[in-house]
């Protein structure tokens, strides 16, 4: 009897389909995603393999075609998501869990991409040299009062191109060109480094304000070497004169090849779940897209703001014009 039961159990194990891994190409640093991956694997038993591809992700997916091992693509910017969609390397996903969890303005209407987190592009302002209320609007950053007081990373970086795309959406290309030229005239130094390097420059007295994403404050506070930089500034949420504070998203899309579609869909839906959204909020200092999920205490301490209501797909459509403008005004010198 024992032998028969053992054989039946062995047969059941052989007949049961093995759980497939989920393979992800990501432009996000893997360590930022790993806590969510670990929680998903603990819950489902499905492993997730992350391949960090900083550049050329579209070209790689095109070259691999139907043979691609990638099930999902995760990116940090709406322009990257649109490039992937325009390259015709992703497929639509029909999921009630995703459409119910993620607000309409933070996902593609045809299910080709879904936002996972948001971040605001704000001003880091010196606590010593910038008065409360001195920073007002994005438009104001191009006025003479900021001459020689601003630091930024290169203007051709995706984060700054997205902000300039928002200027185009609000005011048109000609006004955006004038704004970019005015911002350049107000630079204290040639654009260089990343967002944290700008805060370091403020701490060092090289400039008074910089543009940056909100979550970098959390990252700096976690680094003993950078804590002093972070404590030298405060976060200010500028707005557009006819709108709110510029926001961008990290997002996910399913590749056309997707050899493990069922497991990949499970992971996508998990990413929009309360569990994953809270992990994102706590670990990455980002804003969750799930309306019922709360920002971390640290993020909440930075204050409330009104997100700009320009459609993210429209922002992505202006990226080429934004890049052209940055090159025309020779922003990066």
Structure tokens at 284: 């990455």
Question: Which residues have CB under 8 Å from 12's CB, separation 6+?
Answer: none
107: pLDDT confidence band, cut at 50, 70 and 90?
very high
Instruction: Report the largest interatomic distance among the alpha carbons of the chain, rounded to a whole angstrom.
Output: 89
Average pLDDT of every residue of the chain: 92
Residue 253: exposed, middle, or buried by beta-carbon count in 10 A (0-12, 13-18, 19+)? buried
Q: Dump pLDDT digits (tens) for 116-147.
A: 999 999 999 999 999 999 999 999 999 999 99
User: Are residues 260 and 22 in contact, defined by beta-carbon separation less than 8 angstroms?
Assistant: yes
Q: Tell whether the model's pLDDT for residue 255 goes beyond 80.
A: yes
Rounded Cα distance, 59 and 81, in Å: 14
The neighbouring-strand residues paired with 75 are: 251
Segment (H or E) for 115: strand 114-126
Residue 206 Cα to chain centre, angstroms: 28
Residue 321: exposed, middle, or buried by beta-carbon count in 10 A (0-12, 13-18, 19+)? middle
Q: Tell whether the model's pLDDT for residue 55 goes beyond 90.
A: no
What Å distances lie between residue 310 and 66, 171, 212, 254, 328, CA to CA?
35, 12, 19, 25, 25
13: pLDDT confidence band, cut at 50, 70 and 90?
very low
Q: Dump pLDDT digits (tens) for 318-329.
A: 999 999 999 999
Domains parsed from the chain with CATH numbers = 2-118+247-296 (3.40.190.10), 119-246+306-328 (3.40.190.10)
Poorest-confidence range of 2-16, 21-35, 117-131, 267-281? 2-16
330: pLDDT confidence band, cut at 50, 70 and 90?
very high
14: pLDDT confidence band, cut at 50, 70 and 90?
very low
Rounded Cα distance, 132 and 271, in Å: 38
The per-residue pLDDT for 137 is: 98
The per-residue pLDDT for 18 is: 56
């Amino acid at each position: 009897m024992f032998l028969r039961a053992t054989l039946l159990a062995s047969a059941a194990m052989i007949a049961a389909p093995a759980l497939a891994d989920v393979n992800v190409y990501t432009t996000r640093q893997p360590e930022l995603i790993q806590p969510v991956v670990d929680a998903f694997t603990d819950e489902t038993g499905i492993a997730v393999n992350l391949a960090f591809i900083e550049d050329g992700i579209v070209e790689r997916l095109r070259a691999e075609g139907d043979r691609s091992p990638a099930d999902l693509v995760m990116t940090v910017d709406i322009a990257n998501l649109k490039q992937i969609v325009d390259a015709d390397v992703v497929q639509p996903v029909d999921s009630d869990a995703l459409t119910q969890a993620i607000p309409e303005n933070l996902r593609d209407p045809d299910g080709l991409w879904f936002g996972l987190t948001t971040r605001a592009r704000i001003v880091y302002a010196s606590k010593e040299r910038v008065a409360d209320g001195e920073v007002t609007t994005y438009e104001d950053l191009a006025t003479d009062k900021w001459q020689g007081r601003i630091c930024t990373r290169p203007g051709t970086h995706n984060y700054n191109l997205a902000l300039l795309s928002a200027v185009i959406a609000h005011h048109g290309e000609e006004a955006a060109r004038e704004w970019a030229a005015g911002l350049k005239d107000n630079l204290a130094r040639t654009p260089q480094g990343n967002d944290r390097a700008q805060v370091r420059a403020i701490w060092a007295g090289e400039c008074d304000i910089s543009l940056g994403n909100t979550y970098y404050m959390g990252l700096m506070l976690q680094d003993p070497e950078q804590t002093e930089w972070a404590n030298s500034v405060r976060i200010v949420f500028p707005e557009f004169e006819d709108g709110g504070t510029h926001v961008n998203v990290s997002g996910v899309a399913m590749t056309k090849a997707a050899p493990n579609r069922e497991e990949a869909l499970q992971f996508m839906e998990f990413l929009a779940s309360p569990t994953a959204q809270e992990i994102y909020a706590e670990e990455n200092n980002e804003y969750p897209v799930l309306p019922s999920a709360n920002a971390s205490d640290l993020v909440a301490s930075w204050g409330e703001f009104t997100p700009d209501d320009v459609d993210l797909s429209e922002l992505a459509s202006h990226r080429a014009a934004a890049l052209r403008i940055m090159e025309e005004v020779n922003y990066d010198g």
